[in-house]
Structure 1
Amino acid sequence: MLWFNPMRTTKYPDALAGWQPDFSIRIRPASKVEPTPALRHPVWSNCTLPVIVYSDYLYNYKMFMTHVLPGVDDLFRVKQAFKDGTATIALATPAGLALEPYHALTLSAYSRRPVVPLSELGRRGMEATAADWAGEGVRVHCYNRVIACKLRNGNSVSPAAAAAVVENMNKLPGLALPEDPLGFGGPLVPGSDTLRVVIEARTGGWRTIKNTQDILNACNAAGASFSAAQFKRIVCKLLPRSYDTSPPVTGPALLSSAGAKAYRDAVAAVRSAHLFVATAGTTVAHAFFMQPEAGAGLIEVRPCGWGTKWSDKSNGDQDSMAVQLGKDDSVRYFAYNVEDPSQCSPPDYEPELRAVMAANNGTMPLPVVHQLADKSPPRYTPEALMSRDQHVSPKPGPLLDFIRHAAALLVDKAAYQAARNDRRVHGYAVAQGVLLAEAGVKDAGAAAAGADPTHMLRAP
């Protein structure tokens, strides 16, 4: 398995320390000198059926959502492979790391038993202690049957899968999703003439929207003067990005933790909106939980170069939201590619990284590991990382123009697909305004200079 080590820091609270040695589940024959009596004298359980799930990059929320959740949903809900709901889902976290709340909250929809890390099944020194993940009610180590699945990117998170997760969360004590957590004025209903927009307010040293308050003020100042298709009014709210910095829990994830409640609140907030505006990164995966029947769309805000120079990653990667949401268009996808340098600023770590590279012949030093350790190549070059992680300060007026443009395409899927075919779902924020063009324009400024006026949302 490929993986990044999840970090809990103040400045980079959602950081993933990259380029770890590849992790493998080791299998060997049993012997008479096993370390515990339970393994030396096995008693085979027919009451507990572990379903071991493993996949790459389990601590990247978006990749977990695009690799693991669709596969588990296909096995459990679609194919009904485990009909009685008593299978124990064991997530093979690298090196026995603890589960994150989103692991437990999403996968608990598919079994009545708690989701556990794989290491919990073999934890030593706790024989016969209580374990609600086991059919016997006490910890067991040996099983008549074990099913192991490696899940890779396949289908996107379907609306039915998202609905199953939401339905389950609503049944969990203390975790029912509030209908209007940000105070829009009631639950989201189809046919509303008020456009609801949620804007991510992320903190930390990278990939933040630095002027969220300015955007919020401009959005709400438009108020009743706003018009786009059925929408005659606009209301915007900020979604603070909160992080659980408490130590992770060993064993089954506690669904009563602060992290679980923060995840619930974020999902509920996004579900209460028509449009979710967020910077490129893992948070955009919340869009899978939006409500298509009311008209729903994601505006992914990309920093300078990420939607142009590095468009092979932002548009072509199988985990990109452009690809994932484009599989069924239930939630409309829009890209807001910021290409005006005055609206971008470097990530906080860039000066330090460039200094390290300068001292290392212009390259980024990589960790030294044992020569026999399997290691995949780094996913990004330093330049790609620094491009992806820039802060952005989008000008409120042009961004609001793009929000209006996107709002007009939320309700009618055919109109949205026609606009995509006409190269009108990727916006490029340049000095002249916002250019509507195909994905992957390499020089947005030059393209805007010679653009058809109908493809400029704000002409000079």
Structure 2
Amino acid sequence: MSTPAKNRPGGPALLGPVTPEREDAHSVAKASGGRQRSAAAAAAAAAAAAAAEEQPQQCDPLDIKRTPWGAHCQQLQRVCVDQLVLILYDERYQELGGRKAAPLPTIRVDKSKIYNYPWRQAGTGAAAAAAEEEANDMSEGEGDDDDGDGREEVEEGKEEAVGSEDADALGSTGSAQQMRRRLQQLARQPRRLTYEVQSPAKTRRRHEPLSMRPATSREPVPYLAAPAFSNCTVPIVVYPIFASNFVHVFHDLASYLHALLRRTPWRRHAKLVTVTPEGLGMTAPEAALLPPLTELSVQTWADFSRRLPHDYDPLAQGWDGLLPRPSFEGSEQRCFQHMFVCGRRFKAMRALEEQLPLGEAAARQALMRAIPRENYAYGQMLVEHVQQQQQQMGSNGAGQPSTAAGRGGRRLRVAFMKRGGQGRQLLNARELLQRCNKWRHKPPGGGATITAECREVELPSLEAGVVAAQDADVFIGMHGANMANSWLMRPGSSAIEISPYEFGLMPGSFGLSKANAQDPSSQLLWWLAVVCDPAISQPGQAEVAGTGKPPWWPRDRSSRVPWQALEAILAEIAAVGGDRQRYLDDYYTRWLHRFNVGAAGVVSRGVGRDGEHSGCPAPDGQA
């Protein structure tokens, strides 16, 4: 292990280790010079040896107040962590001089912070992973919860908070006789915790608040008994929603963090910590999407709080320069002057109605109220991160730049996303690929004929998503987590989201397209193909078996989309030419980006009389 170099004023910190050449400089000089070496050589060798023992990075005082984190997360001060427990060192939580200790703060965690318990699968490897992903996807909401999608998540999270069952059950009114009867009922029932499984088929559980206690006179290790609170590292502890689902981690957590961090002057000091249930490891989406956000390593709450050796000195240890630093100082830290715990849902700013005002002070005040959800900006950062990694590894996975019709070219590269599992499939994908590759489009106003190069892609990882997205001009996929890969595409690209039959009746079902339009950073054009005919729909497994929640059966229906419908959308994509402002003005605000699809093709455009969730409107030209 080697110690990090000092942060150089006005420049980036040195992130790498001290090289062996520097460590051996003294011995090299001695061997080459022998007794006759000069005083200058001796001084140089001594300086090199000293450089090999540089101290951990130092930092100026951080201006924590000049950032919006405190408005969206809970700020704690003078805290340490130990074995999943948060330790508070503020004197207000101590009994001193006959004064009563103040109540401990309440860590607020929204009821929507839900996860699916990862039951041990039969078998291992790719098959088990696919089975878990299918189970997660079949029971998780996808999309913009601010618009109603994910309502089932909140409903599932309505169990009483731990420790409050009796009070909630008794209520604040009622006769003494009623209260006695209710107490007798409770006495006959086992005490229920929110994270207990209610039935063999139910796996949803709610994240619990962090455990905490005041500091004591019997701390188990010296670094807790006499803590040195880090002023250079600021942990940001986050609670994900459905962490096994790619779009939830991307859309409901990481993009918010990216928007806040890019506006945080001390972002190089921020350390992300994700709360995983019961000390489990990170999910694949967490491990892929969170580390690119900061220079410091991302850890689970369990790893972040694990107890260090009894003689551990956080000021003297170094780190493996091949890995991200665990702290700004370079060593494992367990005590911090500042910490933020983000257990509440972030409030999204709606860019079509709200904009960050000009001026630093006004923008900062606006960020206190809501956060711009910049999925596209975050996606482009991920692209840059993955491409840099590929270059360092000597591989170049990206395809050749396209001469897209959306950007003035003559050919569209179209990628059909292939979903894993059995639900929500594009049943006639092979036929659509054949028709797509034969497509020839002559623009109505004249000009060269536009063709397409079409293929099917699987996106098992972020790296695969980046390669496919950067190679395509158009992504086509069924509604689901895979559609989040669209924000990895180049400016002027288009995504076509296929909505299963009757799924559009549900609030929030078009949340991703709405979030894209309200993203001030987005250069992506999002189109909807809404299946309106049961003749081209096939029920999902739960619907066939009569299990699960009937209101959510439509989401997992598969579809057989006629080529004529996709052909009409591709023609509009070619006409818009990748111009996002034209897309917003002429299509999105008038709902003309929505194509209602029947067995013979597009039957109408737009929405019904009662709005976006009123179902498919009558065919064009009919009442």
| TM-score using structure 2 length | 0.56
**1:323 matches 2:514:** yes
Is residue 272–residue 297 contact of structure 2 (8 Å, CA) maintained in 1?
A: yes
Amino acid at match of 1:179: A
1:226–1:234 Cα contact (<8 Å) kept: no
Aligned AA (1:452): G
Q: In 2, are the aligned partners of 1:206 and 1:390 still within 8 Å (CA)?
A: yes
- The match for 1:395 among 551, 559, 562 is 562
Shift, 1:176, TM fit: 7.0
Q: Which residue of 2 aligns with 1:100?
A: 283
Does residue 385 in structure 1 map to residue 548 in structure 2?
no
Instruction: Say if 1:296 and 1:410, in contact at 8 Å, map to a contact too.
Output: no
Question: Which of 413, 433, 441 is the aligned partner of 1:226?
Answer: 441
Q: 1:283 aligns with which of 476, 482, 500?
A: 482
C-alpha distance in 2, partners of 1:177/1:100?
Answer: 26
- Does 2:273 match 1:90? yes
CA-atom RMSD in angstroms? 3.1
Q: Distance in 1 between matches of 2:309 and 2:134?
A: 33
Shift of 1:112: 1.9
Q: Kindly state the Cα deviation for residue 28 of structure 1 after the two structures are TM-superposed.
A: 2.4
Match of 2:398 among 179, 190, 203: 179
Distance 1:28 1:227, change over 3 A: farther
2:252 is equivalent to residue 67 of structure 1: yes
Once residues 67 and 175 of structure 1 are traced to their aligned partners in structure 2, the CA distance between those partners, rounded to angstroms, is 33
- How many angstroms apart in 2 are the aligned matches of 1:161 and 1:142? 30
* Cα 1:118/1:268, change in 2 over 3 Å: same
Residue 429 of structure 1 aligns to a residue whose secondary structure is strand
Matched with 1:121 is 304
1:447 and 2:614 matched? no
Following TM superposition, by how much is the alpha carbon of 1:38 offset from its aligned partner in structure 2, in angstroms?
4.5
Shift of 1:208: 1.7
Q: Which has the higher helix share?
A: 2
Structure 2, unaligned runs of 5 or more: 1-108, 119-127, 140-202, 349-371
Runs of 4+ in structure 1 off by over 6 angstroms are: none
> Superposed, which structure 2 residues align to 1:249-264 within 5 Å?
262-264=461-463
- 1:55 shift after superposition: 4.3
Aligned to 2:37: none
Q: Equivalents in 2 of 1:347, 1:126: separation in Å? A: 53
Q: Secondary structure at the match of 2:540?
A: coil
Measured in 1, the distance between the counterparts of 2:129 and 2:246 equals: 17
Distance 1:147 1:46 in 2: 13
CA, structure 1 residues 152+206, in 2 after alignment: closer, same or farther (shift >3 Å)? same
The 2-side partners of 1:169 and 1:91 are apart by 21
Counterparts in 2 of 1:126 and 1:214: CA distance versus 1, 3 Å: farther
What is the aligned-residue identity percentage? 20
Tell me how far 1:340 sits from its aligned partner. 1.9
Q: Does 1:302 align with 2:499?
A: yes
* In structure 2, C-alpha distance between the alignment counterparts of 1:188 and 1:145, rounded to whole Å: 50
Instruction: Tell me which residue corresponds to 2:295.
Output: 112
Partner of 2:133: 13
Alpha carbons of structure 1 residues 290 and 188: separation in structure 2 relative to 1, 3 Å: farther
Structure 1: gaps of 5 or more residues: 243-261, 357-363, 365-381, 456-460
Displacement of 1:341 in angstroms is 1.6
Paired amino acid for 1:428 = N
Aligned partner of 1:211 in structure 2 is: 428
Q: Distance in 2 between matches of 1:88 and 1:392?
A: 43
Residue 170 (structure 1) aligns with: 387
Partner secondary structure for residue 587 of structure 2: helix
Aligned positions, number = 390
CA deviation profile, 1:157-184 (whole Å, cap 9, x unmatched): 254433333222223343976321xxxx
Paired letter, 2:238: V
SS in 2 for 1:208: coil
Determine whether 1:194 maps to 2:411: yes
3-state DSSP of counterpart to 1:298: strand
Question: For residue 139 of structure 1, what is the aligned residue in structure 2?
Answer: 332
Partner of residue 508, structure 2: 313
Bigger radius of gyration among the two: 2
**Equivalent-residue separation in structure 2 for 1:53 and 1:221 (angstroms):** 48
Instruction: Quote how far apart the aligned CAs of 1:142 are.
Output: 1.8
Aligned to 1:30: 215
